Chain A
């Protein structure tokens, strides 16, 4: 397996979903989803509210157990393993090191009462970093990378604006150089100029670090800017999938056509 942080040209998939499904009692939230994600690839999952996007993201990130099918992930040693077969300790370790998860609401992904430096440093301390100076320096350099003034490294995120919080959350997730990042509506609730800046930042980071990412969004503009590939969901099923420009410029399914045509022109 090549070093993390470099652009990987690999023909082996990083994450494979195989006939994934989830029922809540009689309600089917998600059914029969299969795809493969390759290293360095950004996949957007789009669809309206209630279409099963968030459930799918939780299934993929092993936060929910599927009622059918399985998710496999290629570990750093190159072996593809079924996530359900991992022990809880392994799964949590994966989540803290090789994966990132960016929540829509930064308050869920951050510790609002502790300083930005400690927020970024938490993952490092969890993998055994034990030198205050080095942790703080690393945290500062990450704040710089996500365009936060390093003078605010000791301020708690509750004193930050919404856009800064979201950028801090991204820094916190990327500090251990993960290979796969899950994002749940990363630009939700931000105003358009802040959104644009955040998207620009994310696009740069993703290409710099060679990250694979799965982005759930209802905003087709986000999908167009960030992703290589798009999956359109409706009623728990994937109804259309393909290259981003192909799906957005030449939608095949009537529902996708509706979705694309409902973007408000400025």
Chain B
């Protein structure tokens, strides 16, 4: 064997072609889960093996890569994936949402609006939205094929029956292009409206489950709901303690063992940009309050 020891962006070219074919098919059928021959990556399942393979397949030498983990550019997962591509592809990396051409994300959509030409790559643990209601893969595939999505509403019904409102707060099911019901990966439902009619291309990679799906730019994405229990966004009812933002998705940070806490933007880039622009928060927040935001 005389296979070259190095190839751009880690994966060999045949593998990338295979993944690109799956991506093209996924774009052609918005929301449909395309099976692909997922490779072993030098990281454990659950750390973004699907997203990494999609990123590796679409990355070119001129791309600028941003990687976020729960909105943050500086967590272990984000840093190690960013370094991985810096090393294996030599591409430029950034933490700025607007400067990036490829953004790999774990469970958030950046606050700054995405623009045409950008690609958002999601890491997906379980791509099948019907999985916890219907364990048989043969059956869920058939349900997708025939558009039988009554079961998805059973889950939402169950939420209301148990909690009085739709308590699903992440991985909130959406209908893409009025056809396929899709799991948007475990992003908070706060981010769901950002997927609708988004000018950027959105790709979803599930490494362990070996599925790729996509939302092409400017596609209708509708969150499922009931007429009398419409979809609502959700965020903590507080401004960011660092930048004072009142519109961003917040993380709750416990600061002591006496009930002290603060709320800060989950999107670190957005928060830093705002701070540089002179916005300031209180660095402390009122006691825990919650409110649904429509």
> B158 — which chain A residues lie within 8 A by C-beta?
114-115, 118
With both beta carbons as reference points, the residue of chain B lying nearest to A130 in the complex is identified as: B227
Q: A130-B226, A132-B228 are in contact. Are A115 and B161 (CB under 8 A)?
A: yes
Tell me, in angstroms, the Cα distance from A122 to B157 when the chains sit together.
9
Tell me, in angstroms, the Cα distance from A32 to B157 when the chains sit together.
46
With both beta carbons as reference points, the residue of chain B lying nearest to A153 in the complex is identified as: B161
Give chain A's interface secondary structure class.
helix
| Contact assessment for B227 and A125 in the assembled complex, using a CB-CB cutoff below 8 Å | no
Q: A117-B161, A154-B162 are in contact. Are A125 and B228 (CB under 8 A)?
A: no
| Contact assessment for A135 and B146 in the assembled complex, using a CB-CB cutoff below 8 Å | no
| Contact assessment for A121 and B157 in the assembled complex, using a CB-CB cutoff below 8 Å | yes
| Contact assessment for A121 and B146 in the assembled complex, using a CB-CB cutoff below 8 Å | no
Contact of B150 among A89, A114, A117, A127 (CB under 8 A): A127
**Nearest chain B CB to A240 CB, angstrom units:** 39
The reply on B288 being an interface residue by CB < 8 A is no
Q: Between A and B, how many residue pairs show CB distances below 8 Å?
A: 55
> B160 — which chain A residues lie within 8 A by C-beta?
132
| Contact assessment for B150 and A118 in the assembled complex, using a CB-CB cutoff below 8 Å | no
List residues of A (85-124) whose CB comes within 8 Å of B's CBs: 88-89, 92, 96, 111, 114-115, 117-118, 121-123
> B146 — which chain A residues lie within 8 A by C-beta?
88-89, 92
The reply on B151 being an interface residue by CB < 8 A is yes
> A127 — which chain B residues lie within 8 A by C-beta?
150
Q: A115-B161, A118-B158 are in contact. Are A132 and B229 (CB under 8 A)?
A: yes
The reply on A234 being an interface residue by CB < 8 A is no
Tell me, in angstroms, the Cα distance from A36 to B158 when the chains sit together.
41
With both beta carbons as reference points, the residue of chain B lying nearest to A88 in the complex is identified as: B146
| Contact assessment for A131 and B154 in the assembled complex, using a CB-CB cutoff below 8 Å | no
The reply on B293 being an interface residue by CB < 8 A is no
Q: A114-B158, A115-B158, A121-B157 are in contact. Are A131 and B228 (CB under 8 A)?
A: yes
Tell me, in angstroms, the Cα distance from A126 to B146 when the chains sit together.
12
The reply on B247 being an interface residue by CB < 8 A is no
Instruction: Report B141-156 CB contacts with A as 1/0, cut-off 8 Å.
Output: 0100010101101100
The reply on A136 being an interface residue by CB < 8 A is yes
Tell me, in angstroms, the Cα distance from A77 to B146 when the chains sit together.
22
> A153 — which chain B residues lie within 8 A by C-beta?
161
| Contact assessment for B157 and A118 in the assembled complex, using a CB-CB cutoff below 8 Å | yes
The reply on A265 being an interface residue by CB < 8 A is no
Tell me, in angstroms, the Cα distance from A111 to B153 when the chains sit together.
14
> A111 — which chain B residues lie within 8 A by C-beta?
133, 154
With both beta carbons as reference points, the residue of chain A lying nearest to B146 in the complex is identified as: A89
Contact of A118 among B161, B228, B229 (CB under 8 A): B161
Tell me, in angstroms, the Cα distance from A39 to B133 when the chains sit together.
35
| Contact assessment for B161 and A122 in the assembled complex, using a CB-CB cutoff below 8 Å | no
List residues of B (147-194) whose CB comes within 8 Å of A's CBs: 148, 150-151, 153-154, 157-158, 160-162
The reply on A133 being an interface residue by CB < 8 A is yes
| Contact assessment for A125 and B154 in the assembled complex, using a CB-CB cutoff below 8 Å | yes
Tell me, in angstroms, the Cα distance from A136 to B153 when the chains sit together.
13
Tell me, in angstroms, the Cα distance from A191 to B158 when the chains sit together.
31
> A118 — which chain B residues lie within 8 A by C-beta?
154, 157-158, 161
| Contact assessment for A122 and B151 in the assembled complex, using a CB-CB cutoff below 8 Å | yes
Instruction: Report A187-204 CB contacts with B as 1/0, cut-off 8 Å.
Output: 000000000000000000
**Nearest chain A CB to B71 CB, angstrom units:** 32
| Contact assessment for A133 and B148 in the assembled complex, using a CB-CB cutoff below 8 Å | no
| Contact assessment for A154 and B157 in the assembled complex, using a CB-CB cutoff below 8 Å | no
**Nearest chain A CB to B202 CB, angstrom units:** 26
> A132 — which chain B residues lie within 8 A by C-beta?
157, 160, 226-229
**Nearest chain B CB to A149 CB, angstrom units:** 16
A-B contact pairs, 8 of them (CB 8 A): A88-B142, A117-B161, A118-B157, A122-B154, A131-B226, A132-B160, A132-B227, A154-B162
